[in-house]
Structure 1
Amino acid sequence: MAELPMADRHETVLPPPPDAAREALASALATDPDTQLTALSAVVADHPTLVAGWAELAARGREPIERYAYARVGYHRGLDALRAYGWGGRGFVRWSTPSNRPFLTCLVRLQRAAQEIGETSEVERIAGFLLELDPDWDDANLS
């Protein structure tokens, strides 16, 4: 497939999540750290398309494979959302747009978890994908 010039690439902006999902996530994040994983799991069970919820689960998984699984689901939920809003497999999804950050966060957390389990080729693919999505990508975006 021929590479599209930068000026011809579509920029996709995801909408913010519904208020109820955002409020439930904030409540779960405000719980005691010992119960956060359970609280976040309940939120995601109620709002399975909430990519930010999957990103939070990926940050709190107990084992590398658990973090990987949460990040992978969030990444795929994010791809579904991107496609629903016009992304056709190419184009920009920028970190500078706050509503895009949960998807990009899942992608970075997937990369980190892949590194933890030794999936070197996936780590490299994700690094390239991040730069395709946002040519201004900086790994410091998500510390």
Structure 2
Amino acid sequence: MTSFGDLLGPQPVLLPELPDVEDALADNQDPVQVAAAHPTASLAWAQLAEDALDRATAAGTDLDGASPIGHDVIAAYAFARTGYHRGLDLLRRNGWKGFGPVPWSHEPNRGFLRAVGALARAARAIGESDEYARCLDLLEDCDPRAAAELGLD
């Protein structure tokens, strides 16, 4: 049985640790430089996306899709999409078939999940409601707790 209670479902994917990336970000190194040094790391792209969304919010942008869109929201969308795609590549290399558990509780999975969450927020901000819904569905499929952990509940 998988950790999510599905007797017939795939086993959870547990991505490998990326200690160089995790340590660099924990040491407050510039995420731009971390992403440049580790372009396949979803965690670095997720950090860039979240930072851009935070800047947009601090500048008064309401991310509900009603506010005028600035550079930071578009940058967040691009960063998050890059992290999402890099995460899909890594998930597939680690046995994921396009569905099934990617547990939030396994910290190395969080870079991908955070990128999906940031993509959802940025998609909603630019009025891309179908993409927002797809991201929420993906998070639900990966781990039913993920959206709440990312403040998307």
Note if contact 2:13-2:94 (Cα within 8 Å) is conserved in structure 1.
yes
What letter matches 1:85 in structure 2?
N
- 2:15 counterpart of 1:6: no
Superposed CA deviations along residues 73-117 of structure 1, whole A, max 9, x for unmatched, are 000010011001000112111112222111111101100000011
CA drift of 1:142 comes to 1.7
Answer yes or no: is the 8 Å Cα contact 1:55–1:71 preserved in 2: yes
CA RMSD of the aligned region, Å?
A: 1.7
Q: Following TM superposition, by how much is the alpha carbon of 1:14 offset from its aligned partner in structure 2, in angstroms?
A: 0.5
Report the count of equivalent residues: 128
Q: Determine if the alignment matches structure 1 residue 108 to structure 2 residue 99.
A: no
Would you say 1:141 and 2:124 are equivalent positions?
no
Matched ranges for 1:14-53 at <5 A: 14-17=15-18, 19-27=19-27, 29=28, 39-53=30-44
TM superposition shift of 1:9: 1.8
**For residue 82 of structure 1, what is the aligned residue in structure 2?**
91
Match of 1:96 in 2: 105
User: Relative to total residues, which structure has the larger helix share, 1 or 2?
Assistant: 1
- Scaled by the length of structure 2, the TM-score of the pair is 0.77
Contact 2:104-2:146 within 8 A present in 1 as well: no
> Percent of aligned pairs with the same residue?
41
Q: Structure 2 CA distance, aligned partners of 1:75 and 1:85?
A: 15
1:137/1:22 CA distance change after superposition, 3 Å? closer
Deviation of the 1:42 alpha carbon: 1.1
Q: Secondary structure at the match of 1:92?
A: coil
Q: Any stretches of 5+ residues in structure 1 without a counterpart? A: 31-38
Does structure 2 conserve the Cα–Cα contact (< 8 Å) formed by 1:9 and 1:90?
no
2:76 matches 1:64: no
